[in-house]
Amino acid sequence: DSGVTQTPKHLITATGQRVTLRCSPRSGDLSVYWYQQSLDQGLQFLIQYYNGEERAKGNILERFSAQQFPDLHSELNLSSLELGDSALYFCASSVGVSYNEQFFGPGTRLTVL
């Protein structure tokens, strides 16, 4: 158990819908990262927050957005969903901003029908 929690574990929805994925980092960790794992793209970094502020953006679509709240939990919002958005979405957390070990949550499996 990494100490990072993600909800829900599974999510099945239809094209065009909007969903929210939630992540609680390990106690004491200030950085939260979101990654997408799909068969064709592999593991890709989406976005990072540090202590409530957006720190870095990766290959995140404009239809996707995230935020980190004062209690440090984070939410990833995915809207206008397409079939190709079906993937495993991982949240990771670390103590600082860079070069720190990242601890991964169990992931949320999103299926878009």
Partner 1 sequence: AQSVTQLGSHVSVSEGALVLLRCNYSSSVPPYLFWYVQYPNQGLQLLLKYTSAATLVKGINGFEAEFKKSETSFHLTKPSAHMSDAAEYFCAVSESYGGSQGNLIFGKGTKLSVKP
Q: Min. distance of Cβ 51 from partner 1 in angstroms? A: 14
Compare residues 4 and 76 and give the one whose CB is closer to partner 1.
4
The vertex-111 CA angle with 107 and 113, nearest 5°, equals 170
User: What are residue 12's DSSP bridge partners?
Assistant: 111
Site string for partner 1, 55-84 (x = CB under 8 A): xx-x--------------------------
Q: Which of 69, 66, 89, 67 is nearest to 13 (CA)?
A: 89
Q: Are 49 and 66 in contact (CB under 8 A)?
A: yes
Site string for partner 1, 32-51 (x = CB under 8 A): -x-x------xxxx--x---
Q: Min. distance of Cβ 73 from partner 1 in angstroms? A: 17
